[in-house]
Amino acid sequence: MTIEVIGRACVAPGANSILELKAILEDGLCTVTQVPDDRWELARFWHPVPGTPGKAYTFAAGIIDNIYDFDPAVFGLSQREAMQMDPQQRVLLTLVWKALEDANLPAASLSQEKVGVYIGASSLESGNLSSEDPASGSPYFMTGNTLSIVSNRISHVFGLNGPSMTIDTACSSSLVALDQATRALERGDIDTAIVGGVNILVHPLSFVGFAQARMLSPEGLCRAYDTNGHGYVRSEGGVVFVLRRSDKARREKDRSHARIHATGVNSSGRTNGISLPSREAQADLLNSIYAGNGIDVNRVAFIEGHGTGTRVGDPAEVWAIGSVIGQKRRAPLPIGSIKSNIGHTEPVSGLFGIVKAMLALEHNLLPPTLHIEKTNEDIDFAGLNVRVNTSPLKLLPAREPRLAGVNSFGFGGTNAHVVIGDPEDVPAAETPAKSDNILFFASAHSQSALTSLLEGYKSALTPASGAKARQIISAATANRDPMRHRFAVEARDEQGVLRAIKAQLAGETTDGERGEAPSHAGKTAFVFAGNGAQWAGMGAEAYRENRHFRQCFQSFSALFEYHLGEKLSDLLFAENLGERLIDTKIAQPLLFAVQASLSDCLAAQGIRPDVVFGHSVGELAAAYAAKALTAAEAVAIVAKRSKAQDLFAGQGKMAAVVMNEEAARSFARAQGLETSALRRSMRRIR
């Protein structure tokens, strides 16, 4: 069983998004800098001589921007609680929000699913920092600074009821978390998984510890697979993926960034030292994944290695890869490491490797691995049929989906590997037509945030072509939960939307509406009418003006044609429709199709009911809107029901009188009605 990555988000040194990270990789940039002065007093803990007690010989690091920037109210948190939270929790909440938007999953919809949260994290640096002044703690200190809450906070804020766990296996943490998530998805324990990893550097102790162990690069570069690699560079960052099984993703029409074909985890067991790798254990893991799953190694386009740039770790890794994969291939196997670009993000590094791998497959270009002066002389690259990718490599298309492997090893011995591949080809979403009468809608938690959001839309729409602009406008409503401060404008054409946004930002009169929704929005009910509510011409304007309604109605028309022998799309504009609506075989299918198409259009605009009601044939439209019936099931019931009613047309009579209960009982006795039937009638009246 395969898994799809349907949503993604990241923050990395020098990059606040997936697109910015893509630019760094393709431009061959290294974003490693140094720990900023506001983290701690650098001079107090630095000394140039390695091994100096209590000192680190380097503070080179990959640093992300503004780790303390956070809007707690968006997530229902008080400022006091947010101040006691580990920045890792705040970074992940923001990334989860972005990944869900990328997956086109409104957060409110997740309460109806079993959603698991699996996070790789190791750092307790924020808690260590706070523990230096115990008086600074508050009732929120413990929930703000324990690893378990890193994942639990996500489940709590977003109301998720599936498994929620933080996994710490050091540098392999996030890939082990992904392995656990895929297994839960395959077992059917959950419907959707949120997988993430995070690392923040806010305390000098870990730098001192790794420096004492001589693990850090003295020159501040990750020289993966290079002879001059003598250690790694610590970095911070975060990645979040949203995963679904391929069958569910296909059914829900989710976009896939990549497909996960196989995952695996093992341990190095007893080695000469707990932080020393076992090449045999790594080879066993790779063999269990590739041979165990029948994966053709010639389909592997490249391996994104762990590649920290150490004289012990790199040779063990390449030997395992070459022995299991490289030597069984026709062509040399390219290998590289994102750590040469952004440093080693420790527990989240495996997910960053997957981000690089999926971007490479997506854009048919494997970015180069940097800082290679001379490949590691302790590695027989030629004999292992492996080569380090030191320049951009164009990836050619293939008849079968291409694969890529991603390695991650923990310094305690936990090894993890993931195989991803090209997603399944699906038809591209149609560009909305100019005639589509849709709404442009933007919302944010605050006025200032809404202004910033509108500025972003203005920047995106200004250079966009007509087709691209219509896609942006139609997507604006689809992938966000509506928030308190809102702006809406009728999207008759893309230039009109852009003019309305510019006018709103300039404080001028605009066709759009800006307002504030109630803080506690009520629930939404859809009420569907029954036979008798129809009239000639209903739905005709919607059919002409709204393409989505027209497509939905045509689908129902095709389904009803099998039962009726006529097309509802033709009947909708028939000159004698007023006369024909007397026929239940026509009236009820037409009424159902109009109402069901309207509910589908509203759902596409993000307006979904919390409860549905229906009368007569409207009950079936309500059942369809609630997804209790499929379109085909509902159409079959409506068609058979209306035909059955038509058989008795004109044979029934009904009378209505106004009288009190006593008079009604007297009348019933005079007519010889049974007492039990009368009691039932009276109960209905009451």
- The pLDDT tens digits for 331-368 are 999 999 999 999 999 999 999 999 999 999 999 999 99
**What is the enclosing helix (H) or strand (E) of 618?**
helix 617-625
The set of residues, in sequence order, having a beta carbon less than 8 Å from that of 393 and lying 6+ positions away, is 302, 334, 365, 366, 368
Establish if 428 belongs to a structural domain.
no
Whether 538 and 512 map to the same domain: the answer is: no
Establish if 275 belongs to a structural domain.
yes
Pairing state of beta strands 192-199 and 115-120? Answer: parallel
Contact present, 458 and 465 (Cβ < 8 Å): no
Whether 341 and 466 map to the same domain: the answer is: no
Q: Average model confidence (pLDDT) for the chain?
A: 90
Whether 627 and 671 map to the same domain: the answer is: no
Tell me the three state secondary structure of residue 29.
Answer: coil
In the numeric block, which tokens belong to residue 109?
A: 């919809």
Whether 471 and 613 map to the same domain: the answer is: no
Number of domain units in the chain:
4
pLDDT at 140: 80
Domain boundary among 369, 389, 421: 421
How far apart are alpha carbons 254 and 251 in whole angstroms? Answer: 8
CATH code of the domain containing 466: 3.30.70.3290
pLDDT at 155: 96
How far apart are alpha carbons 150 and 172 in whole angstroms? Answer: 17
Q: CA–CA distance from 198 to each of 115, 174, 341, 377, 549 (Å)?
A: 20, 8, 17, 34, 44
Whether 487 and 546 map to the same domain: the answer is: no
In the numeric block, which tokens belong to residue 643?
A: 């035909």
The set of residues, in sequence order, having a beta carbon less than 8 Å from that of 635 and lying 6+ positions away, is 556, 559, 560, 563, 589, 592
pLDDT at 27: 96
In the numeric block, which tokens belong to residue 554?
A: 């045509």
**What is the enclosing helix (H) or strand (E) of 395?**
none
Work out the angle at residue 210's Cα, subtended by the Cα atoms of residues 205 and 214, and round it to the nearest 5 degrees.
145
- Amino acid identity of residue 417, one-letter, is H
DSSP state of 66: -
Structural domain for 25, as ranges: 5-421
Whether 363 and 502 map to the same domain: the answer is: no
Contact present, 353 and 338 (Cβ < 8 Å): yes
CATH code of the domain containing 608: 3.40.366.10
Burial readout 455-481 (b: 16 or more C-beta within 10 A, e: otherwise): eebeeebeebeeeebbbebbebbeebe
Contact present, 467 and 431 (Cβ < 8 Å): yes
Largest CA distance in the chain: 112
pLDDT, tens only, 112-165: 899 999 999 999 888 878 777 777 777 888 888 899 999 999 999 999 999 999
Whether 63 and 118 map to the same domain: the answer is: yes
Establish if 459 belongs to a structural domain.
yes
The set of residues, in sequence order, having a beta carbon less than 8 Å from that of 270 and lying 6+ positions away, is none
Domain boundary among 387, 421, 455: 421
Whether 373 and 469 map to the same domain: the answer is: no
CATH code of the domain containing 171: 3.40.47.10
In the sheet that holds 438-444, the strands lie side by side as: 438-444, 485-491, 513-516
How far apart are alpha carbons 135 and 447 in whole angstroms? Answer: 36
End-to-end CA distance of the chain: 56
Domain boundary among 492, 516, 540: 516
Whether 588 and 685 map to the same domain: the answer is: no
Establish if 20 belongs to a structural domain.
yes
In the numeric block, which tokens belong to residue 41?
A: 């007093």
Give the gyration radius of the chain's Cα atoms: 31
How far apart are alpha carbons 89 and 142 in whole angstroms? Answer: 13
Establish if 245 belongs to a structural domain.
yes
Pairing state of beta strands 333-336 and 386-388? Answer: parallel
pLDDT at 222: 95
Establish if 404 belongs to a structural domain.
yes
Q: Which residues of the chain have pLDDT under 50?
A: 435
Pairing state of beta strands 525-528 and 513-516? Answer: unpaired
Establish if 242 belongs to a structural domain.
yes
pTM: 0.79
- Amino acid identity of residue 463, one-letter, is P
Establish if 431 belongs to a structural domain.
no
Whether 684 and 564 map to the same domain: the answer is: no
pLDDT, tens only, 567-596: 988 888 988 888 888 888 888 999 999 999
Contact present, 107 and 481 (Cβ < 8 Å): yes
Whether 623 and 597 map to the same domain: the answer is: yes
Whether 278 and 357 map to the same domain: the answer is: yes
